[in-house]
Every structure is written in C-alpha cells, then in structure tokens.
Amino acid sequence: MSKEKLSGAEALMRSLQDEGIELVFGYPGGASLHIYDALFNQQAVQHVLVRHEQGAVHAADGYARSTGKAGVVFVTSGPGATNAITGLATAHMDSTPVIVISGQVKSHLIGTDSFQETDMIGVSRPIVKHSFLAQRAEDIPMIVKKAFHIATTGRPGPVVIDIPKDVTDPDYKFDYSYPKDIDIRSYKPVEEGHSGQIRKAAKLLLKSERPVIYSGGGVIQNDASEELTSLVKYLDFPVTNTLMGLGAYPGTDKNFLGMLGMHGTYEANMAMHNCDLILAVGARFDDRITNDPAQFALGAKKIHIDIDPASLSKIIKVDVPIVGSAKTCLDQLLNELKKNESKLDKNKIEPWRKQIKEWRKEHGLNHRMLKDASNSKKILPQHVIQSLYKETKGDAYVTSDVGQHQMFAAQYYHFDKPRRWINSGGLGTMGFGLPAAMGVQLAFPNSTVACVTGEGSIQMCIQELSTCLQYDLPIKIINLNNSSLGMVKQWQDMQYGGRLSQSTYEDSLPDFVKLTESFGHVGIKVEKPEDLESAMKKCFELKDKLVFLDIVIDEDEHVYPMLEAGMAMDSMWLDKKTKTWK
Amino acid sequence: MKRVIALLMENQPGALSRVVGLFSQRGYNIESLIVAPTEDPSLSRLTMTTEGDTQVVEQITKQLNKLIDVVKVLDLSFEEYVGRELLLIKMEFSEEAEAEVSNLGGQVLFKDDNLLNVEFVGASEELDEIVTSLAKLNPLEVVRTGLSGISSTTKTLTI
Ligand SMILES: Cc1ncc(C[n+]2csc(CCOP(=O)(O)OP(=O)(O)O)c2C)c(N)n1
Ligand SMILES: [Mg+2]
C-alpha cells in the first residue's frame, strides 16, 4: 500500500475517519486552529458547533450512551479545556466512552505560563480512564487507536488526547498509516467469568428462597440486556435496576420491582433488605443504593459480576465475586443453570413473590399521589411524566437533568429498552439534559427525544438552544417548573426546618416561552391540570420543531419513597408524614 | 499494618503522577516511595510502603492495577521478601564519630578535616536503630531513600 504524507492535524482527522467516526462536537480556538483547518478540508466527519464546551462533552456523552459508540469532542487549550472538565467528570462517574481532543500550546511554550496554557493532562487526571500527550505528529494515529480501544472496552470511560499546536503543524508531513491492531501489555480486560465461580453462583441461585437480581449501568454499557432478561425469565426471579440501569430489564414486566435505592420503590428496597440472595450485575453498591453499608442486606449471600475487579468487595464484601463482562458472565450463568434444570423449583420462591406483591399493594408508587390528585388544583410532576409516557407510548429517548424531576422521570417513565434513559447518575450534573439530548437526536434523527428538566438545571446549559436551531434538532423539553431548586428545597424542608436557604429565585425566572421563541423555537406554558394532556399532545405533534413545554407544577411536591440516611434499606419516608421505621 | 507494594509501570511521562495521584485522590497514605528505570528501559520499578488493613490494601492494589500505565503489581507483604534502604548521614568530623560509624557497620564516603559523609544499608528497622544511636553525635543531615524490596520466593515481579 502506498503511503500518504499527512500533517498531524490531517492525520488526526484521517484517524477518526479510519475509526469510523462520523460526528464530533466542539468549539475552536487558537491552539486547535490547525485541527479545524484539517476538519474543513474533509467531508467524512461532521462537526457540531456547540455554544459552550461543557455542552460539547455532554452531547458526545449522550451520543455515546444512546449508541454505545464513543463520542468525540474537540476543544482548544486553556479555557476550552477547563470548560470540558465537568463533562469529563460526568462521563467518568458513569463510565461512558467519551474522547476529548484538546489543543495545547506549542511544545516549547509548555510550562512557561503562556497564553491559554492549562495543564490539561494534570487537571483531568483523576477524572479520566486514561490520557495521552501527543509529542510527535507520527504518534497521533497510534494514540487515537489506543484511545478508542481504552475508552470503549472493559469498563468504559473518558480519554483525553492533548495535542500541542506544533504537533499539528500543516507544514510538517509524515507517512500516514492507521494501525490495524493494538496490544497494550498492561491493559487486557477479562471477558469470561471463572467457571468455578459461575458454578458456585448457579448453586446459590438454585438454593435461594428469597432472591433479588440487582443490575446497574454495566449491563446497559455492555449490551447485556438480552442476557439479563433471558436469565430473569428463566429463573422467574424478581429484578430491580439502579438509576443507571433502567431499561436493562423491561420496566413493564411483572418481575420488575422498579428502581432501588435513595428514591427506589418500597418493594424494591424492602426486597433488597429482606432477601437471602443478591445477584448484582454491573452495579457497584454505591451509597445511593446501600444506605448504611453496615446494615445492608445482612441476611443475604451476595454474588457480584463486574468487569472491574476494583468494584468487587469495595463497599460490600461479597461471597461470590466474578470478574468478567456482564454479557459473557450472564450467558455462562444461564448455561450452567440449564445444565442443572432438574434442580430449579420455581414454586420455592412463591411465598417471596407473594410478599413482594403485598409490599407493592401496600405502598407501591402512585398509591397516595393518585388518591389525592383529584383535589389538587396544581399539576403534579408525577402526572406530567405519566402524560409524557402515554404520549410517547413509552418509546422515547428520555434525557434528564438533576433534581426532583430526574427522580420522577426515573420512577414514572417505564423504560422497556436499554439506552433509552440518559441521565447523569454518578456525578449528578445539572446542565446535562439538553446537550445530552442533542447527542441522542443527532444519533437518531428520526426518533423522539425528550429532555425532562427543571427550571434550575435547564438554565445551566440553556445556550445550547442555539445549537439546536443550527442543526434542526426537534428535541422536546419538558420543564417541570417548581420555581425552586426542588431537590435542595426538599432536603431543607425535611432536615433544616423548612429554612429555604438559596433554593428559590424571588420571581427572577425568565419567561421561558419568550426565551425559547427568541432562540427560534416554540414555547408553550402550561398551568392547569386540565390543559396538560392537550399541551403534551401538541408538543409532540410539532414533529420538526424544538418545543419547550414550561409546566408549572406543584412546588410543594417531594420525591418519595426516600431512604433515611444512616439506616438500613427498609427505613423510608413514604410521604411527608409516613415513615416505615419507629 | 505496614505494607510494601512493588510495581512495574511504563517508563513514560505522566505514569508516576498517575500512581501518586491515585493515593491522594482515594485518601490513601504513602509512607515512602522509590522509583527508577529497570534494565528494560521501557519499564520503571516502583516500591512504596503504606499503612492499611487488608481490605484497604487490596483495594489499593486493584486500583493500581487498573491504571493503564501500570503493568504489574506485587504486594510484597504477602510474600517472603527482603527490603533494604539506604541511609546517608553528614556529620562533623571527629575520630570518635568515625569509630562509631565503623562500629555500626557504616561506610565512610567522604571525609575532610571538618566533615564526614557516611552510608548505611539495611532493613528499615536496623536503620531506625542506627539513626537513634548516632543522634548523640548531632548529625548535620540525615537522608533515607525509602524501602526497596524483592521477594525471596520464586515469584518474580517481571514481565
Ligand atoms: C452543577 C450542579 N450544581 C448543584 C447541584 C446540586 N443540586 C442537586 S438538585 C438541585 C436542584 C435542581 O433544581 P431543578 O433543576 O429546578 O430541579 P428540581 O429539583 O426542582 O426538579 C441542585 C442545586 C448539582 N446537582 N449540580
Ligand atoms: Mg426546580
């Protein structure tokens, strides 16, 4: 094959093409000018110009979460790079494959406090899976190849490539070729679970009388939903998903307990607390799940499947740790169970199923809310999500921001498919929702994409409304407007005697309808419960338009259930007055 | 409990800062740390000592292994191993001082009418004792390298 002479910048663009990348998000600046010129001179990679680098990283992240492919970002040095940091931290906490390519000042200026110089490798170090400083143009193809490999395999995560401007110099050309294979001697993720551990796990599953399967974001990331669903159906066991794992198991199936944890359902949390066996898959027992780890599921044996050995027994000591990918291990486990078919007695757990049913009947979601709803003159946030669910037939991509609206969306939109629920679970980044929705809409131009947000969060990346116009992104923004930083207010109501320190805005909120219109989109305000359905309908009928539905909701509504801090998982507030413990 | 962890990592810029950063980031302590390139110039070998119970050190080891630049980790505390460090001391010259140093097994590296530079090599506890016994001579400066170790089983930290 004859080799081509390319500059570092051209080699970067060509490497992205050779990696199959069609879309990058970004914002140009001095240190990345050579790169942007090489971008200009090619067609295969489309660039989306955001309005703030944080938006670029969240958009790439939304693209990555919805497609499973890496999202790519270009930023310049200094402020461009630091603006990308929140996005990187968000991707890191949720283990998503995002690659940020940052321009850097020229090599000879590094370390001299030159204009727009930031030590991007240093600043981003604790919030990336790995990072590269390209020191020679010739290194770029190999670095890009490694970056994609590292970002998308094993436990995925963000990677930074920092490129000094002289390394992309258009006048320096070298023989370009893109590596076919790579071998990183220190990085070999294990796919297959240890067969002895799989056998132990199968034995425990067959013996259990009160099992729960608890699955997290890892199952979605690893495209293991099918395997999870097959296993659950085979065993006919109850299953719960974390906030990050929603959609891994069909949310409308009878075995589904709903989400667990801080704002999980009563039945999911009770089942976790009282079970005799937990099969955890691609989940990490974080503090929003376990509540007090010392009181966590004390009567249960624990099996934990995870691709990251460091996740095993990090917080909760497990009995059967299994290192491997969710997909492969679940498959192995199902095969092992099938080999022992005669030992599977589905009736054995019938009393447990009955118990769960009773819990659900007692305090399942909707219970009190639906009872009281008819008296309310205000729109309830839960009703908004139910209305959204109905209007989109449960088949939309839903992104969200962070706060009460996020929890209501997670509780009341029942996701039947993976990669449909896109939210910042680990870092809890307000401002994530709208740019993430852009990434999803660009990946799936013909699908319905809704962004459930709050008037607080949406203002954190509101500038991206302008990007949405430039690229014709007909996102539906469902703003649950409670005129307050609702989740902060809820904690202040519950734990600080209702002292609302800095969680309201004293009538300073913008007119969201006018604001949206000034960005060239459609805004609709909804204030009365009787107008909700028709407004929701209209919003989705405007297929080609971005619609901002500003819904004034009951500002006093809290998210329940809610775990009481420092206690076990069975200690929940069920509404403002009812708690499950004495 | 004191732990000794040895590892091989890529001899590349940034690798050491990732290892050190991991410790501060996750709230672990580094008591001593020593690092140098190996006979294979693409690799550096690092030995560190830290405090922690078994669960904490297991987590540290896993997190270290997770770093892309880290090629191999060995927790020497789980092995039979020999650990040595180097102690350098500068003191005012006197015949009494020189005699005491040789008595304790030290080597004189430099001396003139005013000064004496000496070295000791040994296990950390031995060096602790030497430092204590030389305190009466009021040394001007005491330097220790931190522990380096090698397992004394057939298990090797090589690739
Ligand atoms: C960037 C950022 N800053 C602060 C917080 C803390 N925080 C969590 S929820 C919340 C309130 C969110 O308000 P809003 O978007 O209106 O949602 P609501 O809870 O009212 O539904 C705040 C301030 C955060 N998660 N992210
Ligand atoms: Mg709000």
Domains defined for chain B, CATH in brackets? 2-78 (3.30.70.260), 81-149 (3.30.70.1150)
Q: State the first-to-last Cα distance of chain B, in angstroms, to the nearest integer.
A: 28
Residue A532 burial (CB < 10 Å; 0-12/13-18/19+)? buried
- Alpha-carbon gap, residue A332 to A53, rounded angstroms: 42
Torsion angle of the four alpha carbons A514, A520, A526, A531, in this order, in degrees rounded to the nearest 10? 140
Residue B1's pLDDT is what? Answer: 79
* Residues of chain B neighbouring A125 (CB-CB closer than 8 A): 17-18, 21
A548 in the same domain as A469 = yes
Where chain A has pLDDT below 50, the residues are none
Q: Is residue A313 part of a domain?
A: yes
Residue A368's pLDDT is what? Answer: 61
Q: Is residue A582 part of a domain?
A: no
Of the listed A4, A5, A22, A115, which one is catalytic?
Answer: A115
Q: Is residue A369 part of a domain?
A: no
Buried b (16+ CB within 10 A) or exposed e, A152-166: bbbbbbbbbbbbbbb
Q: What is the ipTM of this complex?
A: 0.93
Asked whether the beta carbons of A419 and A67 are under 8 A apart, the reply is: yes
Question: Would you tell me how many other CB atoms lie within 10 Å of the CB of residue A252?
Answer: 9
How far, in Å, is the centroid of ligand 1 from the Cα of A90? 15
Residue at which a domain ends, from A302, A332, A362 = A362
Residue contact B68–A121, C-beta within 8 A: no
A166 in the same domain as A236 = no
Of B13, B55, B62, the CB nearest to A310: B62
Tokens linked to A280: 């955890």
Tokens linked to A114: 């030159």
A14 in the same domain as A86 = yes
Task: Give the phi and the psi of residue A236 in degrees, each rounded to 5.
Answer: 60, 45
A310 in the same domain as A204 = yes
CB-based contacts of A320, cutoff 8 Å, min separation 6? A197, A200, A201, A204, A301, A302, A303, A304
Interface test with B, best of A186, A187, A188 (most B CBs within 10 A): A186
- Residue found by looking up tokens 């790079």 in the block: A81
Provide the number of structural domains found in chain A: 3
Q: Is residue A184 part of a domain?
A: no
Asked if the C-beta of A310 comes within 8 angstroms of chain B's C-beta atoms, the answer is: yes
Would you say residue B13 has pLDDT above 90? no
Percent of chain B with pLDDT over 70: 100
Q: Give the number of the ligand closest to the Cα of residue A483.
A: 2
Question: Would you tell me how many other CB atoms lie within 10 Å of the CB of residue A292?
Answer: 15
CB-based contacts of A263, cutoff 8 Å, min separation 6? A407, A410, A411, A559, A560, A561, A562, A563
Cβ-based interface (< 8 Å): residues of B facing A: 9-10, 13-14, 17-18, 21, 25, 55, 58-59, 62-63, 65-66, 68-72, 159
A231 in the same domain as A139 = no
CATH number of the domain to which A309 belongs: 3.40.50.1220
Would you say residue B35 has pLDDT above 80? yes
A140 in the same domain as A19 = yes
The neighbouring-strand residues paired with A10 are none
Distances (CA, A) of A68 to A63, A221, A513, A545: 8, 7, 34, 27
Per-residue pLDDT band for B52 (boundaries 50, 70, 90) equals confident
Residue A325's pLDDT is what? Answer: 98
Ranges assigned E (strand) in A362-475: 397-400, 421-422, 449-454
Amino acid sitting at position B65: N
Residue contact A122–B17, C-beta within 8 A: yes
A314 in the same domain as A256 = yes
A405 in the same domain as A508 = yes
Q: Which of A21, A27, A48 is nearest to A472 (CA)?
A: A48
Q: Is residue A188 part of a domain?
A: no
Nearest CA in chain A to B25: A126
Asked whether the beta carbons of A303 and A322 are under 8 A apart, the reply is: yes
Q: Is residue A185 part of a domain?
A: no
Residue A365's pLDDT is what? Answer: 86
Residue A371's pLDDT is what? Answer: 55
Q: Is residue A141 part of a domain?
A: yes
Interface test with A, best of B22, B64, B66, B158 (most A CBs within 10 A): B66
Residue B54's pLDDT is what? Answer: 87
Question: Would you tell me how many other CB atoms lie within 10 Å of the CB of residue A393?
Answer: 8
pLDDT tens per residue across span A146-169: 999 999 999 999 999 999 999 999
| CA A345 to the chain's CA centroid | 37
CATH number of the domain to which A153 belongs: 3.40.50.970
Residue contact A310–B66, C-beta within 8 A: yes
Point out the ligand 1 atom lying closest to the alpha carbon of residue A408: 21
Instruction: Give me the domain span that covers residue A230.
Output: 195-362
A255 in the same domain as A385 = no
Residue A372's pLDDT is what? Answer: 60
Q: Is residue A577 part of a domain?
A: no
Buried b (16+ CB within 10 A) or exposed e, A487-503: bbbbebbeeeeeeeeeb
A404 in the same domain as A325 = no
Tokens linked to A483: 């005129």
Q: Helices A381-391 and A404-412: crossing angle, nearest 10°?
A: 50
A71 in the same domain as A156 = yes
Residue A121's pLDDT is what? Answer: 97
A203 in the same domain as A141 = no
Question: With the C-alpha atoms ordered A485, A491, A494, A497, is the resulting torsion angle positive or negative?
Answer: negative
- Alpha-carbon gap, residue A295 to A287, rounded angstroms: 12
Ranges assigned E (strand) in A126-189: 130-133, 159-164, 173-176
Q: What is the pTM of this model?
A: 0.96
